[in-house]
Amino acid sequence: MLQIHENISLQNFNTFGIDASARYFVEINHEDELVELFMDPQWKGIERLVMGGGSNLLLTQNFDGLVIRMNIRGIEHRINHTDVFIEAGAGEVWNDLVNYAVKWEFAGMENLSLIPGSVGASPIQNIGAYGVELKDVFDSCRAFEIATGTFKAFDKAACQFGYRDSIFKQQKGEYIIVSVKFHLSLVASINTRYGAIEQELNNRGITNPTIKDISQVVSHIRVSKLPDPSTIGNAGSFFKNPVIPVTEFEPVKTQYPDVVNYPAGDGLIKLAAGWLIEQCGWKGKVVGNTGTWKNQALVLVNHGGATGEEVYGLSSQIIDSVYTKFGVMLEREVNII
């Protein structure tokens, strides 16, 4: 029997630590419970918010609908020659899954160590860090289709992964991911392309890194650059790195020769939003109860007691100033509720 709670605070369910409440709240521990929930006419027209770890979310007001918190657990793996398939419930904590893989020496996810959030949320924005994206280790996922009340399988192509993008983001509110299957390997192919990994391995005198070494080094880099949400509320990168046509990039480059940029294929250039924001003087700035992180300007933080509106207001100011200085429009990466 599903337990629906009323008027509960979401403060402990979002990593920004924003104190907003939900009119109704239900936790889903098994996929059958989704069928039960969506068959109940009481919840038919109501506004819904599906939550995993709440790590990519900014609540700007109380939510006057039904919050569905995905808590389906379980991790299983199957080995076929050197291929490893791991399937995990949507409610598993992402980093617990990474630790599972690292412990078993299954290669592929180690660069994605310590990313906050849940397994079920990971395909939605195709999470990525330190040279690897979720799509590189994704096999398939299973999702509940709200319109039909049935479960559907999505292979990699069907997910239409892009930079921090997928069909689940494009068709928001249509599907609820219940489990994800990953394709890993018993043969490690260590990825140290991201400069800071190489540098930290050198510092540690490691020349032949294992999966565990990479996981530890990545975790170390994250801790040194990014605020820990359990002490300082945040949702990771607040904006996407803007991708612009070379023609728009050229005038920026002429005026600001140091602009941090990466080729993004098809005549496109990706700019480092953190750099753009820092150049506008925002890095480490405290504005009321909010601000940007001192070691990474792309991360907005809650210094304690910030409201979602306050954080949103700061993000608008940042967008305006980056646009004024560089003519580049930043896009929020975090879900604004």
Q: Report the distance separating Cα 300 and Cα 306, nearest Å.
A: 11
Site for ligand EPU in 271-330 (CB under 6 A): 272, 274-275, 278, 283, 296-298
Q: Is 236 in the site for ligand EPU (CB under 6 A)?
A: yes
Between 52 and 236, CB nearer to ligand EPU = 236
Site for ligand EPU in 120-159 (CB under 6 A): 129-130
Catalytic residue, chosen from 164, 215, 222, 310, is 164
* Catalytic (active site) residue 92: no
Token duo for residue 103:
């412990």
Q: Report the distance separating Cα 41 and Cα 289, nearest Å.
A: 41
Q: What is the dihedral of CA 305, 238, 130, 249, to 10 degrees?
A: -150
**CB of 270 vs ligand EPU, minimal distance in Å:** 8
Say if CB 105 and CB 84 are below 8 A apart: no
**CB of 117 vs ligand EPU, minimal distance in Å:** 9
Catalytic residue, chosen from 92, 237, 310, 315, is 237
Catalytic residue, chosen from 92, 200, 310, 333, is 333
**CB of 43 vs ligand EPU, minimal distance in Å:** 31
Beta strand segments in the chain, E: 4-9, 21-28, 48-51, 57-58, 63-70, 75-80, 83-89, 128-129, 132-133, 138-145, 150-155, 175-185, 233-237, 243-245, 261-263, 268-271, 286-287, 290-293, 296-302, 335-336
Interface residue with ligand EPU among 118, 122, 216, 241 (CB under 6 A) is 241
Q: What is the dihedral of CA 250, 253, 259, 264, to 10 degrees?
A: 20
Between 24 and 249, CB nearer to ligand EPU = 249
**CB of 186 vs ligand EPU, minimal distance in Å:** 25
Between 17 and 236, CB nearer to ligand EPU = 236
Site for ligand EPU in 250-269 (CB under 6 A): 260
Q: Report the distance separating Cα 323 and Cα 141, nearest Å.
A: 38
Between 87 and 213, CB nearer to ligand EPU = 213
* Catalytic (active site) residue 333: yes
Contacts of 319 (CB under 8 A, 6+ apart): 239, 329, 330
Environment class of 143 (CB within 10 Å of its CB; exposed 0-12, middle 13-18, buried 19+) = buried
Q: Is 333 in the site for ligand EPU (CB under 6 A)?
A: yes
**CB of 137 vs ligand EPU, minimal distance in Å:** 15
- Pick the piece of the chain touching ligand EPU (CB under 6 A) from 60-68, 139-147, 149-157, 234-242: 234-242
Q: Report the distance separating Cα 133 and Cα 111, nearest Å.
A: 9
Between 117 and 209, CB nearer to ligand EPU = 117
Token duo for residue 225:
């650059």
Between 97 and 298, CB nearer to ligand EPU = 298
- Looking at the annotation, which residues are catalytic? 164, 237, 333
Q: Which residues bind ligand EPU (CB under 6 A)?
A: 129-130, 225, 236-237, 240-241, 260, 272, 274-275, 278, 283, 296-298, 333
